[in-house]
Amino acid sequence: MGSLRSCNLVCCQQQFPPMGACLLRKTGDLRISRSASFVRNSNDGRKLRATLSVEELPPNAFRRKNDPKWRGGFSLGVDLGLSRTGIALSKGFTVRPLMVLEMRGQKLELRLLEIAEREEVDEFIVGLPRSSDSKETPQSNKVRSVAGRLAARAAERGWRVYLQDEHGTTTDAMNRMINTGLDKETRQKQIDAYAAVMLLERYFSRSGSGTELVVPKQLDLQDKIRKGPPKDIDFYPDE
């Protein structure tokens, strides 16, 4: 198997609510260490150690490139906006725009899980806003919070959540829609879904390089992610 970008585990204790998560963030081009971990003090002073590493759970795009026998689930691209969320679906070949959701908070998270169940998804690729110089924006923290809550819910089913740089995807989406001849009204309604398409295309074209795995703090949820979905025999044939 090839190599992914090196990652450090950063615990985000205050950004996320109780169902929050810690993020594995890229820091270079070295191979990921199998021993990546963190120590977090609980309220009563005990120390909890997370032993889950990105190398254990590479994204589907990386698996597809490096394992010709891999036959995992679909990837759901998620373009989060202030009031609208675009959704797209792919398994590494063509990317299909699904829909635009006009909801927020828990309703949005539960709806994403319903869509994932229906479409046989086992990972979410969530767009992370960045500026032209690759710095995070005020919207980035909001996206990280949503991704953290979604990761905790998804982990109950053995599904994973990754963050992918989304800079420029809205512009690319608009150009794509214009080039395909979509009228102005359709472009306005579907721009978010097509931005999710561009997000997934970028993710697969880079074979998952540069993504951030969102890891729930709870160790029992980390164990569920390791095991994967019950039907995911391609990832865990010996279980």
**pLDDT tens per residue, range 73-100:** 999 999 999 999 999 999 998 999 999 9
Q: Region 185-209: what's the mean pLDDT? A: 97
- Surface-to-core class of residue 139, CB atoms within 10 Å of its CB (0-12 exposed, 13-18 middle, 19+ buried): middle
Residue 235, domain member (yes or no)? no
CATH for 50: 3.30.420.140
Domain count, the chain: 1
Query: Do 9 and 215 contact (CB within 8 A), yes or no?
Result: yes
Residue 36 structural domain = 7-227
- Surface-to-core class of residue 98, CB atoms within 10 Å of its CB (0-12 exposed, 13-18 middle, 19+ buried): middle
pTM over 0.75, yes/no? yes
Which of 21-25, 37-41, 154-158, 223-227 has the highest mean predicted lDDT (pLDDT)?
154-158
CA distance 120 to 209: 23
